[in-house]
């Protein structure tokens, strides 16, 4: 797609960059808060996938749209970002793009103003390593013995 006046690139947003992350292992999408703000904080979102052009578009829709995905509940975090699963779409994208299943992919959005959709060009995806907790589970808290602490302070 050519860069023209109806598209806003990621450089306009700086740190507050609209992006999505996709991960094969869990069949998950993570949609950042700036994407939802671009769309006007919708009640729901709708995916449009074009396999030939390798483009994924996310558009705003109403909460009760049967073809949409609601932007409420457990999946919508306190920070306004959305985490959701859609293994069917993830599988189709991975098959089309021939991506490594051990990585997650981040794609920055371009916004189409007239259609109110965020466009993600899959060819521009950046493969990122999935950081894993080697210990498994939450890190253990350090226990401090108060007596030893008091002795160290008095010295």
Q: Which of 38, 52, 62, 51 is nearest to 110 (CA)?
A: 38
CB atoms under 10 Å from CB of 39, counted, come to: 21
* Distance (Å, whole) CA 142 – CA 30: 32
| SS3 state of residue 122 | helix
pLDDT digits (tens, 9 = 90+) for 66-78: 888 888 765 565 5
Element (H, E) at 148: helix 146-154
pLDDT digits (tens, 9 = 90+) for 6-42: 433 333 334 578 899 999 988 888 898 888 888 988 8
What's the pTM? 0.71
| Amino acid 135: pLDDT | 62
């Amino acid at each position: 797609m050519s860069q023209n006046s109806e598209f806003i690139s990621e450089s306009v947003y700086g740190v507050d960059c609209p992006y999505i992350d996709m991960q094969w292992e869990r069949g998950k999408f993570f949609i950042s808060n700036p994407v939802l703000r671009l769309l006007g904080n919708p009640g729901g979102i709708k995916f449009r996938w074009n396999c030939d052009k390798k483009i994924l578009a996310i558009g705003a829709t109403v909460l009760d749209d049967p073809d949409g995905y609601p932007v409420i509940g457990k999946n919508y975090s306190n920070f306004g970002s959305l985490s959701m699963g859609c293994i069917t779409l993830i599988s189709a994208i991975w098959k089309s793009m021939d991506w490594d299943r051990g990585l997650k992919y981040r794609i920055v959005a371009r916004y189409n103003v007239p259609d109110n959709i965020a466009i993600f060009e899959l060819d521009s995806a950046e493969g990122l390593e999935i950081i894993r907790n080697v210990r498994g589970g939450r890190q253990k808290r350090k226990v401090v013995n108060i007596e030893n602490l008091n002795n160290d302070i008095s010295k």
